[in-house]
C-alpha cells in the first residue's frame, strides 16, 4: 500500500553535514609579488619557445625557452591602429623573434 502525502511530509529531512573548515591563510612571503598572473587563452609551442595570447588585454607574448636566458620575452598588442598599419598583427614578428638566435645582455 502507498503512503499518503501526509506521511511523506511528516518524515524528518536528513541532516546535512557541516561544511569543512577553511584552510589557514598562507604565511606572508618575503618575495614581492605583482599579483596573480593572467592565464593564457591560447598557447602556440615552437621549438625555440612559445607564444601566448591573452584576450583580457589583447596581448601576445613570445617567451624564449633557452635555459641560459632569464625572462627572455617580447610582448606586443593585437589591438589594431588606424595610424600604424602593422600594429595589431604581431604574430609573424614574434615567430621571427623566437627563430632568431639572441644573446642575453650581461
Please provide the size of the chain in residues. Answer: 106
- Residue 10 is placed in which grid cell? 511528516
Cβ pair 63, 52 in contact under 8 A: yes
Residue 37 exposure: Cα atoms within 13 Å on the Cβ side: 4
- For residue 48, give the 3-state DSSP assignment: coil
Residue with cell 620575452: 73
What does the pLDDT profile of the chain (106 residues) look like in tens digits?
555 555 555 555 567 777 777 766 666 554 444 445 678 899 999 888 899 999 888 889 999 888 777 778 888 888 877 887 767 678 888 888 888 876 655 5
How far is it, in rounded angstroms, from Cα 50 to Cα 41?
13
Amino acid at each position: 500500500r502507498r503512503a499518503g502525502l501526509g506521511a511523506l511530509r511528516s518524515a524528518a529531512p536528513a541532516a546535512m553535514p557541516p561544511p569543512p573548515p577553511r584552510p589557514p591563510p598562507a604565511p606572508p612571503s618575503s618575495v614581492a609579488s605583482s599579483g596573480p598572473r593572467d592565464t593564457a587563452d591560447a598557447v602556440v609551442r615552437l621549438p625555440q619557445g612559445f607564444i601566448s595570447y591573452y584576450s583580457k588585454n589583447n596581448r601576445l607574448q613570445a617567451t624564449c625557452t633557452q635555459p641560459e636566458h632569464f625572462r627572455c620575452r617580447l610582448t606586443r598588442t593585437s589591438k589594431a591602429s588606424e595610424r600604424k598599419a602593422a600594429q595589431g598583427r604581431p604574430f609573424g614578428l614574434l615567430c621571427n623573434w623566437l627563430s632568431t638566435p639572441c644573446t642575453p645582455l650581461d
